[in-house]
Amino acid sequence: MTEQIVASVDTSKPTAMGRLRTRLVIRDYAIVVSFLALFITLSVASSAFLTKANLLNLLDQSTAIGIIACAGTFVIIAGGFDLSVGAIYALTGVIAAKMALQIDPVIGLALGLAVGVVAGLINGLIITWGRVNSFIATLAAALVIVGTASAITNGELITVVDPAFTVLGTDKLLGVKYSIWIFVVVIAASWFLLDRTQLGRYIYAVGGNAAAASLSGVRVARVRVITFCLSGFAAGLAGIIIASRNATGQSDSGMGLELSVIAAIVIGGTSIVGGEGAIWRTVIGVLLLAMINNGFNLLNFNPTYQQMVQGGIILIAVIADARARGRLRAA
Amino acid sequence: MSEVPAAQPHVRLRGVCKRFGGVLAVDHVDVDIESGIVHALVGENGAGKSTLGKIVAGVHAPDSGELWVDGRRVHYGAPHDALAHGITMIAQELALVPARSVVENVYLGVESHRAGLVQRRRIRQRYDALCADVGFSLPADRAVGSLSIAEQQKVEILRAIARRARLIVMDEPTAALGPTEIEQLIATIRRLRDRGTTIVYVSHFLEEVLAIADTVTVMRDGRVVRTSPAAGETPATLVTAMLGRRMDQAFPAKVFPDDAAPTVLSVRGLSVAPLVHDVSFDVRAGEIVGLAGLVGSGRSETARAIFGAERLDDGTIHLDGQEIRPSSTREAIDHGIALIPEDRKGQGLLMRRSVIENVTLPHLELVTKGGVVARNLERRRSDAVVESVAIDRAKRAVAVETLSGGNQQKVMFAKWLLARPRVLIADEPTRGVDVGAKRAIYDFLQTLAQEGMAVVVISSDVDEIIGLAHRIVVLRAGRGVDELDGRIATEDDVIHAAFGTSVAA
C-alpha cells in the first residue's frame, strides 16, 4: 500500500520534471553557444581576430575585470553585491604608487593588496554586524574610498619611474604577460574554492537559503564577510596590476568598473538573487564582453553602438534568469 | 445596496474540492452562506477552514465543484474576479503600504482622478462619507505603519468597502490582537453586518466565534461536519464536533523506553519573549515526546530556543545531565541536537542544490579534509543515509526542487543522520506529504527513538501526536499547560488542553 502510493506519485512526475530539466539544460548552455557563435563569427569576419597577438591582447584587457569578477561571483552567489570594487581598485593603485615613491616598489604593491583586503573586511562587517543592505553599504563605501584616494593624490596622477614597479604589469613569462598568468591562476583558484571546498559549499548555501543555512549550522555572517574580503583582495590585486602596467596611480581609474564586473557575472548566467552560479560562467561572461569590444574595433563598427549592444545582452541575460525562475515556481 | 432575495444564499458551494500535493484540504464541501450575516468557519489546524475561506474569496481556485454567487455560477481566475462579484478577503498578514496615509491606502488603485491627476479633495470627501457610513473614525492622514494592528485592520475593512465589497472573508483576524482590540473588532463586524455586509469569519477561537457569529460551520479533515445557528452551540459542542473520529491512519506500534532509560534532554523554565513563558519538560533516551498546541502557542519557538536559533530569556537546558547554553545553531549541532524545521522550502532545504549537498551541509566537516570536500567520501557517506531514508540513490545528484514533497521531507531527515544526534526535534514532520510518505516518516521517528535517540515531535495534527508520542506536552499561549501519558491520552484530552476548554459532560 505504502509502496504503491509512493510509486504512483513518482510516475506522474517525470514528464513535467523532465521538461523542467531540459529547459534548465538549455538555459545552462545558451551562454556557451552564444560565446562560440560570436567567436566563430569574428574568426570568419576578421582575419585579425584569430591571431595570437589579438587573443593575448584580449585576455590582457580582461584581466582587471576578470580577476574582480571571479571574486565578485562569490559575493553574488552568497546573496550580496559589491559596488565598491572600482573604488578599491583605484585606491590600491594609488597607495601602491605612493608607497613605491616613498618607500619601495615591492612594499608599495604589497600594501596595496592589504588595503584591498581591509576595505573588503570593513564592508563585510558593516553589512553583517551593521545589518545594512550590501548594495547601499558598498555604494557608500565606494564614495568614501574614492574620496580617500583623491585626498592622497590631490587629484593628480602619481607616476612611478622605478622599473621594479612595472614588472608585474608589463613583463612576460613564456611570451605571455604576468598579468595574464595571474588571471589564469585566479580563475583556477576561484573555481577550486567554489566547487571543491567547504567554504564554497557554504557560499552557495548562504545565498540559496540563508535561513536553511543557519539552521544547518552554517555561520552565515562569517561566510558573507569572507566573500567581501575576497572581493576586496581581488579588487586590490587588479588595482596593483594595472597601476604597475601604467606606472601610475590615479584616483578616478576605477569609475564604472563595478558595473562591468556585475554585467560580466550576470551575462555568464550567475543568478543575481544568489545561490546559483559558477566561475566558468563568469569567465565566459568576461570574455564575451571583451570579444564584443574587440569585434567592434576589428570590424570598424561605430563604437557608439557598443554600449547599446552590451546593455541589450545584459537585459537578455537577466530576463532569461527571471523567466527560468518564474517557470520553476510554476512547476 | 442591491438586496438579494431572501431565499437565495449570498454564496453557495457545491461539491467543492481542493488538493495540495497529496493532501485533500477541502473535500466535497457543500455550504450556503446567507446574505447579511456573520458566518464562522471553525475547525482544528489543518481542517480546511482557511482554504475554504480562500476559495470563497478567489485566492484559491477549487479543483472541482461549483461556486454560486447571488444565484449565478461563477469561475474565478484570480482574487480580483471575486472582487468583481463584491467579495474580498482580509488575510492574516495585512497587505497595506505602511509608509502611506490611511486615505491613500484605502483608495490605492481606485483613486478618483481626472486626466491622470489624483483629485485629493474628492478622495477626501469620499473617505469622510465612507467613514460615516461604516461608523469608523480613523485619522485620514496618519501613516498606516504608525497605527495599531486593530486600526490597520479597520483600514483593510475600509478598503474592502471602498471597493464595494458586500462579502468580506476574514482569516484569523484576532490572532495578533489584544483583548480590547478584539472587542473593538467584534463591534466593527457587527456594524458591518447591520449595514448588510456578509462576513465569513475563519477562526479557531471558539468563545470569540460564538460571541460574533450567526451561523457556524464546523470542519474536520477538509469536510463539513455541520452548519448550524451559533445560538445552539457552546464551546464544548463545537470541540466535540471538531474532533469526531477519523479514518484510521496507520502508525507504527509504540515501543516505550525502558524505565531505566536515562533522561537525555531536560528543559526547565524556558522563556523566549514574548512567545514562550516558563516551559519545562524532559525527554528520555528512546522516548518520543509530542509538543501539542494551537498554531502560535509557542511550540516552534521552544524548539528553536533549544536549537540555539532563538535567544533564551530565562531557563536552563541540560543534555545528558550537563547544562548547555547554545548561542548558535552550530553549537547546538555540535552538542548533538538536530532540528527539522516546519517550513521545508523556507527554512529547511537549498531547493536548487543537489540531494547530496543538502544532506552533508550540517556536517560537512565529516567529509572534508583540509577545507576541501572529499567528494568520494561525501558520496559514500551520503549514499548510506539517503538509502536509510528510502530515497532512490539515482536521485542523489538532482536538485531537491525536482523531488516530491515526501522525498523532500526525507532529505530533511537524512541531513541529520550523517552524524547521529542525541536529540532530534521534528517540527511538523509530515506537513504537505502524501499518506505513503507519512507512514515512512512515522517509521523513521519510531526507529530512531528505538535506537536510543531522544525525539521531540511538534505537530498540529492531534492524531499524529496521539499516534506517535509516548508522552505529550501541551502548550497554550506559550505556557506548558498539561502533560499527558501517551498510553492513555485521547484526542479529546489534547484538544481540550490546547483550547483551554473543560471536557464536555
Where chain A has pLDDT below 50, the residues are 1-15, 328-331
- Residue B434: its chain A contacts at CB < 8 A? 5-6, 9
- Residue B352: its chain A contacts at CB < 8 A? 208, 275-276
Closest CA–CA distance from residue B64 to any residue of chain A (Å): 20
Number of H helices, E strands in chain A: 14, 4
Any idea what DSSP says for residue B354?
B
Helix (H, G, I), strand (E, B) or coil at B402: helix
pLDDT digits (tens, 9 = 90+) for B78-98: 778 888 888 988 877 677 888
Better-scored residue on pLDDT, A108 or B437: A108
Q: Please, are residues B246 and B463 in contact by the beta-carbon 8 Å criterion?
A: yes
Give residue B141's pLDDT.
87
Closest CA–CA distance from residue A293 to any residue of chain B (Å): 34
- Residue B365: its chain A contacts at CB < 8 A? 198
- Cβ contact, residue pair B371, A20, below 8 Å: no
| Distance separating alpha carbons of residues A247 and A108, to the nearest angstrom | 12
**Would you call A7 exposed, middle or buried from its count of C-beta atoms within 10 A (0-12, 13-18, 19+)?**
exposed
| Distance separating alpha carbons of residues B69 and B166, to the nearest angstrom | 11
Give residue B349's pLDDT.
93
Closest CA–CA distance from residue B358 to any residue of chain A (Å): 9
CA B229 to chain centre: 27
Residue B327, pLDDT > 70, answer yes
Sign of the Cα torsion A283, A164, A257, A271 reads positive
Closest CB to A215 among B329, B404, B439: B329
Q: Between vectors from CA A313 to CA A311 and to CA A318, what angle results, nearest 5°?
A: 95
Q: What is the largest CA-CA distance in chain B?
A: 82
Q: Please, are residues B302 and B276 in contact by the beta-carbon 8 Å criterion?
A: yes
pLDDT digits (tens, 9 = 90+) for B386-412: 888 878 777 888 888 888 778 888 899
- Which DSSP string corresponds to A88-144? HHHHHHHHHHHHHHHT-HHHHHHHHHHHHHHHHHHHHHHHHTS---HHHHHHHHHHH
| Distance separating alpha carbons of residues B169 and A230, to the nearest angstrom | 52
Closest CA–CA distance from residue B89 to any residue of chain A (Å): 24
Any idea what DSSP says for residue B403?
S
Q: Give the amino acid at A278.
A: A
B193-196 long-range contacts (CB < 8 A, ≥24 apart) are B193/B36, B193/B37, B193/B38, B195/B133, B195/B134, B196/B1, B196/B3, B196/B35, B196/B36, B196/B166
| Distance separating alpha carbons of residues B448 and B444, to the nearest angstrom | 6
Closest CB to B349 among A197, A212, A276: A212
| Distance separating alpha carbons of residues B47 and B203, to the nearest angstrom | 11
- Residue B430: its chain A contacts at CB < 8 A? none
Closest CB to B361 among A21, A218, A328: A218
- Residue B406: its chain A contacts at CB < 8 A? 6, 9
- Cβ contact, residue pair A209, B346, below 8 Å: yes
- Which DSSP string corresponds to A253-308? TTTTHHHHHHHHHHHHT--TTSS---HHHHHHHHHHHHHHHHHHHHTT--THHHHH
Contacts of B273 (CB under 8 A, 6+ apart): B313
Q: Please, are residues B162 and B88 in contact by the beta-carbon 8 Å criterion?
A: no
Helix (H, G, I), strand (E, B) or coil at A230: helix
pLDDT digits (tens, 9 = 90+) for B285-326: 999 999 998 877 889 999 999 999 988 899 999 999 999 999
Q: Per-residue confidence at B502, pLDDT binned at 50, 70, 90? A: low
Q: Which helix (H) or strand (E) holds B218?
A: strand B215-220
| Distance separating alpha carbons of residues B259 and B254, to the nearest angstrom | 15
Give residue B140's pLDDT.
84
Residue B432, pLDDT > 80, answer no
Q: Please, are residues B457 and B291 in contact by the beta-carbon 8 Å criterion?
A: yes
pLDDT digits (tens, 9 = 90+) for A202-223: 999 999 999 999 999 999 999 9
Extract the C-alpha cell encoding B433: 506529504
| Distance separating alpha carbons of residues A64 and A254, to the nearest angstrom | 10
Extract the C-alpha cell encoding B323: 547544562
Give residue B81's pLDDT.
84
Q: Please, are residues B165 and B113 in contact by the beta-carbon 8 Å criterion?
A: no
Give residue B392's pLDDT.
79
Contacts of A163 (CB under 8 A, 6+ apart): none
Closest CB to B333 among A202, A212, A217: A217
- Residues forming beta bridges with residue B19, ordered by sequence position: B24
Residue B222's closest CA among B244, B190, B195? B244
CA B73 to chain centre: 31
- Which DSSP string corresponds to B84-97? HTTEEEE-SS----
Extract the C-alpha cell encoding B284: 528520555
Q: How many CB pairs under 8 A join A and B?
A: 106
Q: What is the largest CA-CA distance in chain A?
A: 82
Residue B490's closest CA among B459, B505, B460, B469? B469
Better-scored residue on pLDDT, B62 or A10: B62
Contacts of A198 (CB under 8 A, 6+ apart): B364, B365, B368, B371, B372, B373
Find the mean pLDDT for residues B14-29.
84
Chain A interface, Cβ < 8 Å to B:
1-6, 9-10, 13, 17, 20-21, 196-202, 204-205, 208-209, 211-219, 275-276, 328
CA B173 to chain centre: 14
pLDDT digits (tens, 9 = 90+) for B216-272: 999 988 889 999 999 888 888 888 888 765 444 578 888 888 888 899 999 999 998
| Distance separating alpha carbons of residues B85 and B167, to the nearest angstrom | 9
- Residue B330: its chain A contacts at CB < 8 A? 217-219
B389-398 long-range contacts (CB < 8 A, ≥24 apart) are B389/B413, B389/B414, B389/B417, B389/B440, B389/B444, B390/B440, B391/B355, B395/B355, B396/B354, B396/B355, B396/B356, B397/B354, B397/B355, B397/B356, B398/A21, B398/B354, B398/B355
Closest CB to A5 among B352, B361, B436: B436
Q: In what order do the strands lie in the sheet with B215-220?
A: B87-90, B167-171, B198-202, B38-42, B215-220, B223-229
Give residue A24's pLDDT.
57
